[in-house]
Amino acid sequence: MRNRNLMAAAMAAIFFVATAQAATATPPVKLLKSTADHSKFKELDREFDSGPEVTKACLSCHTEAAKQIHQTQHWKWEFVNPDTKQVLGKKHIVNNFCTSVRSNEAACNSCHIGYGWRDDKFDFSVEENVDCLVCHDHSGKYTKPSGFAGLPVTKDTEFPAGSGKIVRGINLKEIAKKVGPTTRSTCGVCHFNGGGGDGVKHGDLDTSMDNPGRELDVHMDAKGLNFACATCHKTDDHKVSGSRYAPTARDKAPTHMRGEADKTNPDTCQACHGQAPHKTVRLNEHTAKIACQTCHIPAFARGGQPTKMSWDWSTAGKLDKDGKPMILKDDDGYDKYMTIKGDFVWKENVKPEYVWFNGTNHYTLVGDKIEKGDKPTQINHFEGSATDGKSMIWPIKLFRGKQQYDPINKSLVITHLAGSDGTAFWKNLDWEKAVTAGMAAGGVKFSGKVDFIETESMWAINHMVAPKEKALGCVECHANGARLEKIDGVYMPGRGRDHAHWLEIGGWALALLTLLGVIGHGLIRVVANKRNS
Amino acid sequence: MTRVYLFKPFERFWHWCQAILIISMLVTGFEVHGTYRLFGFAKAVDYHTIAAWTLVGLWIFAIFWHVTTGEWRHYIPTLKNVAAIANYYSSGIFKDEPHPFRPSLSNKHNPLQRLTYLAVLTLLSPLIWFTGWLYLFYSSWAAWGLGGLRLEWIATGHTLGAFLMLTFLISHLYLSTTGHKLTSQIKAMLTGWEDLGDEAAPGKPH
């Protein structure tokens, strides 16, 4: 009897355990993270003939979105530097890549988050001119081809007209139903392709960052932390934090906490990692003078995609033996010469250069006096010094160029490059015409003469943060001829140029003379000893 | 043959520990300085720092020992007989003359040693120590109100100390061979007992 009871109890136990296991084994329901599934919205369940039509549909629910966008730098392409008062932004500056947006809007503005910015008549106040899809597309199918002033092409279109080349139309209905938060790829559509192609401009941003591994970017590691851009570039009211025009060079603020009003830039390393992130005191001491990026981004363009390091416009215009524009490739298959653009140098795995930087990024703008001399004209210059109390040692990509300028008025120029008209350089290969048209579009005085001047621009390196075991070791800097050899104003143990020369010579002379003295003394003792005995 | 007991166990322990620590700090220090590569910069810095703090600990005991035992009296400087000692090293030693100074438990060091050790202990060591500490706490200078200091000055002072210590080490090593026999003084520092040879009085031929 007792046995039978025991059996029953055992059976019951097994049964309950089994059912309990069955309960926990039920797979969790897979839900969207978002509370809204855009594919179920009737507002989006229709054909769209144009981008602005999609935006109207978006705004029917997201009523304030366009108004928010209208306040942003992404929309205005204009930024007034609060310190220098310089009026910057893509709308105004000239760089040493494709030089200027002005007079090339139809081409360049495929990267504007709006629809139809073709010339200076674009209406920045129209809400449906905001392009929601370019940042929020999750289908990966949304494109804004160059030449269409930021408009997507919905029907197959011959472009340029009469060329026989067809730009395929895209299905906006399908895309509009698959929208969501920004991703590495949506930001990357423009930011990975800055300068006109993959990896061209920044060096620390290219399409290898779409799905990076841990080695390439420890935070964005697709199989690890999987950060999106906006994880660091924390965004409220569509205002994306972070700025290349007025960066935070030195962040001594405490880490950001939930619920606390953030008064400082949320996208610095310190905003999360604080002021003493290392286990060893010695390394934390380095944070007094050295930006995190300096040690933690040992090289840029590490993802397999090279970046452009220099661009010489002065050689543009050469034709091949048939009198046709040509493209020459380097050993890796990248353009090294293009008739329409001149000579380039591409590099992978580039060690940055290093400068003192206090956050003031000063630009040379059209109209600022420039002189041809021994030193290149600085398109932009990171100000800073060892002694101003605001600077840190930063890694930069120094991009060297040789570009169009007005030798009479001694000014950078606006160059009309893209277009099918009679003045665009890429169509006509005539610098005088192209610059005359560009300067006219910008309303700037032009002498009519075009010459070429050497320039350089500075790009702070912030991305492609390596895992800690790949951060720079001591001797990458604490040695002769090492990475920080050119950095003035600090004493670095191990760097010969910091030594007091009188002490080096005097110290070794003293030690050597003492050694010779005792050796001499000893020898005399040996000889005298022999003689005495 | 006369033997004399000069160095007590603690004194010998102090001496040899200090010798090892100073030599290792010279070796690692000049690596950090950039003179050569041996351990690698990071390890050299670590070893240098560990050795420095170990020496600090050793000195706490040594100072206590010197004060409580009265051994500090061996470093009271005197100029008496300095000329005789100098004369011995520059001439007498080559003529097989006996050393003019005979150490004893109450008077271990000859006047030249007294002067040298006193200078090392009270001038050279503090120079190295103070610059070394400031070097270690570089990032705290501003908090300590020393914001005007420059690492360059501190590092140069520390390096000057290193060169002087190196020079001391070379001459000290050599002079340790100038006892009764080549190894008499080294043996004394190992066993405590120094062999002084026979009882011959200074100046008397034997």
**Contact between chains at B94 and A508 (C-beta distance less than 8 A):** no
Spatial contact of A367 and A322, defined as CB atoms under 8 Å apart: no
Contacts of B182 (CB under 8 A, 6+ apart): none
Contacts of A71 (CB under 8 A, 6+ apart): A237, A238, A239
pLDDT reading at A346 higher than 60: yes
Distance CA B103, CA B192 (A): 12
Chain B contact set for A471 (CB, 8 A): none
Distance CA B50, CA B43 (A): 10
Residue of B166, B170, B173, B206 to mutate, interface with A, max A Cβ within 10 Å:
B170
Q: Pick from A288, A506, A524: which is nearest to B94 by CB?
A: A524
pLDDT reading at A17 higher than 70: no
Q: Pick from A284, A494, A514: which is nearest to B41 by CB?
A: A494
pLDDT reading at A137 higher than 80: yes
A516-529 pLDDT, tens digit per residue, is 999 999 999 999 88
| pLDDT band, very low/low/confident/very high, at B201 (cuts 50, 70, 90) | very low
A467 to chain B nearest CA, in Å? 19
Q: Pick from B41, B152, B163: which is nearest to A511 by CB?
A: B163
> What value does the mean pLDDT take over residues A22-30?
73
Measure CA of the first residue to CA of the last residue in chain B; give whole Å.
13
Spatial contact of A404 and A415, defined as CB atoms under 8 Å apart: yes
Q: Is A169 helix (H, G, I), strand (E, B) or coil?
A: coil
Q: Pick from A491, A494, A532: which is nearest to B95 by CB?
A: A532
**Contact between chains at B34 and A525 (C-beta distance less than 8 A):** no
Spatial contact of A364 and A84, defined as CB atoms under 8 Å apart: no
Distance CA B43, CA A380 (A): 40
Question: Which stretch of A195-204, B12-21, B105-114 has the lowest confidence by average pLDDT?
Answer: B105-114
A514 to chain B nearest CA, in Å? 6
Q: Does A341 touch chain B (CB under 8 A)?
A: no
Contacts of A224 (CB under 8 A, 6+ apart): A214, A218
**Contact between chains at A282 and B45 (C-beta distance less than 8 A):** yes
Q: Does B150 touch chain A (CB under 8 A)?
A: yes
The DSSP output letter for A420 is: S
Contacts of A68 (CB under 8 A, 6+ apart): A237, A238, A239
A179-236 pLDDT, tens digit per residue, is 999 999 999 999 999 999 999 999 999 999 999 999 999 999 999 999 999 999 999 9
| Residue A210 dihedral angles phi and psi, to the nearest 5° | -60, -45
The H or E element containing residue A167 is strand A166-167
Q: Is the dihedral of CA A199, A204, A206, A208 positive or negative?
A: positive
Residue entry with tokens 């039978």: A4
pLDDT reading at B206 higher than 50: no
DSSP secondary structure string for all residues of A263-314: -S-TTSHHHHH-S--SSSHHHHHHTTTB-HHHHH---BS-SS--EEEEEEGG
Q: Does A489 touch chain B (CB under 8 A)?
A: no
Chain A contact set for B167 (CB, 8 A): 510-511, 514
A92-124 pLDDT, tens digit per residue, is 999 999 999 999 999 999 999 999 999 999 999
pLDDT reading at B203 higher than 70: no
B87 to chain A nearest CA, in Å? 13
Mean pLDDT of chain A: 94
Contacts of A30 (CB under 8 A, 6+ apart): none
Q: What is the pLDDT of residue B202?
A: 44
Single pTM value for the model: 0.88
**Contact between chains at A532 and B93 (C-beta distance less than 8 A):** no
**Contact between chains at B174 and A507 (C-beta distance less than 8 A):** no
Token couple for A340 = 């329409």
Q: What is the pLDDT of residue A262?
A: 73
Q: Pick from A480, A498, A515: which is nearest to B152 by CB?
A: A498
A-B contacts at Cβ under 8 angstroms = 85
Spatial contact of A311 and A346, defined as CB atoms under 8 Å apart: no
Q: Is the dihedral of CA A444, A445, A451, A455 positive or negative?
A: negative
Distance CA A105, CA A526 (A): 91
To the nearest whole percent, how much of chain B has pLDDT over 70? 95
Distance CA A46, CA A34 (A): 22
Q: Is the dihedral of CA A152, A158, A161, A165 positive or negative?
A: positive
Q: By CA distance, what is B139's nearest residue in A? A: A285
| pLDDT band, very low/low/confident/very high, at A367 (cuts 50, 70, 90) | very high
Chain A contact set for B170 (CB, 8 A): 511, 514-515, 518
Q: What is the pLDDT of residue B139?
A: 81
Cis peptide leading into residue A306 (ω within 30°) = no
pLDDT reading at B110 higher than 80: yes
The DSSP output letter for B3 is: E
A351 to chain B nearest CA, in Å? 21
* C-alpha closest to that of A107 among A228, A24, A184, A197: A197
